Structure 1
Amino acid sequence: MIYIIPIGIQDHDDEWKKRTILLWRWGNISSLFQRVDTVFCYVQDLEQAKRWYQDVFGFSIRFENDDICSLNISETPLTLIQSPPGEPFQPARRAFFNFYVSDTEMARNHLLKHNVIVSEIFDDKDVKWMWFQDLDGNRIEICCFS
């Protein structure tokens, strides 16, 4: 919500437009931005990536067209986007999101069973985490905390 407040003038003053300030009522901004709607991940071959995410993670398709495939994870889907043809593909070298799991050992073993490149499990006291690479080399992280 934005409030426009005249400073030191009456409403009938013609100069009021020149002497106004905008105040953001920050308490209402958080209700404006309600959630992360989707997470985007660029891929080289949309069909291959879609099958890979379905096979490895069991994600179902929420929506798809020729250039994107949105996968159900939970409230926030993962949306795979076909990299533009003719442009060099650059995998994400740093994780731009992570998956939450309740058991990092089980998750790591599952990924290894699917021949996924996966790191060791790092234990940072309150959080255990690891990273893996998807079919295109995009780095994605996995975390677990109590």
Structure 2
Amino acid sequence: MAYFTGLLQTNLYVKDINQASKWYQDILGFTIAADYGTTVILAFGDSPSYDEGKSGIPVLCLIESKDAETGRNTTHPVLGISKEHCGDLYNELKKNDVEVEESPSHKGHFKFYDSDGNMLEAFCPGIYD
């Protein structure tokens, strides 16, 4: 059963969202695909934007966090959940004793951890539209 559609993005926790966003644009040539204030989605040059719902297009997501280098706020991949399995994956992971985020705002968008404690994030594009 294929729950995932591909890698959506990699989240990077940063101390200053404005400084980090400017650096990625000025130094590496990224463009802003979406800006939510304390979260900025960056795309590679002329690649389709995040908002177009194209799964599998890797982008960087900068997330402002004052404790960026400590705790469980770590760099991690975000895996796209297929629309077909958007509501099922969370329950399936819990059923298999996988550590998952408790009470996420949506069961189509949550964090979970592999057997070594590495954080992964699952997201079903379009659930917040």
TM-score in terms of structure 1 length: 0.38
Report the structure, 1 or 2, having the larger helix content: 1
TM-score in terms of structure 2 length: 0.43
Higher relative contact order (CA 8 A, sep 6+): 2
- Which entry has the higher C-alpha Rg, 1 or 2? 1
